[in-house]
Amino acid sequence: MEPKARIQSQECLGKGIRFSLQQDHKEIARAFLYILTNDLHKEPFGLLEDVFVQEPFRRQGNGERIVRAVIEEARKQGCYKLICTSRHAKNEVHAFYNGFGFKNHGIEFRLDL
């Protein structure tokens, strides 16, 4: 009988950067950039997460400003790609990301824990 394969784990370091757009000492927009690595590429990749603009400040270019800042930082960090996710029903958000050059590259699978 062959020995059973054992799962081993090793911590991989990453970092998160929080972006905040302020007006009159109040946060009106935010986004997070997570810089992650894996063994498939020597360069890191970025994950754009939790982009949010307060309702009264939408459609004024604030979302574009904060996403552009995240893209610029991902480039500075040497990321070979930047990924983000969006729910199926959010067609307006999909068009927003397409405007930056993001492409629909796959499906997100999610397990809530």
CATH code of residue 52: 3.40.630.30
pLDDT tens across 40-71, in order? 999 999 999 999 999 999 999 999 999 999 99
Three-state secondary-structure class, residue 66: helix
1 part of a folded domain: no
2 part of a folded domain: no
Please tell me the total count of domains within the chain.
1
Q: Backbone phi, then psi, for 97, in 5-degree steps?
A: -65, -35
Long-range contacts of residues 96-100, Cβ cutoff 8 Å, at least 24 apart:
96/63, 97/67, 99/64, 100/67, 100/68, 100/71
pLDDT tens across 79-101, in order? 999 999 888 888 899 999 999 99
34 part of a folded domain: yes
65 part of a folded domain: yes
Domain residue limits at 85: 15-98
108 part of a folded domain: no
Alpha-carbon distance of 89 to 74, in angstroms, equals 27
pLDDT bucket at 3, cuts 50 / 70 / 90: confident
pLDDT bucket at 32, cuts 50 / 70 / 90: very high
88 part of a folded domain: yes
Record the pTM: 0.87
67 part of a folded domain: yes
61 part of a folded domain: yes
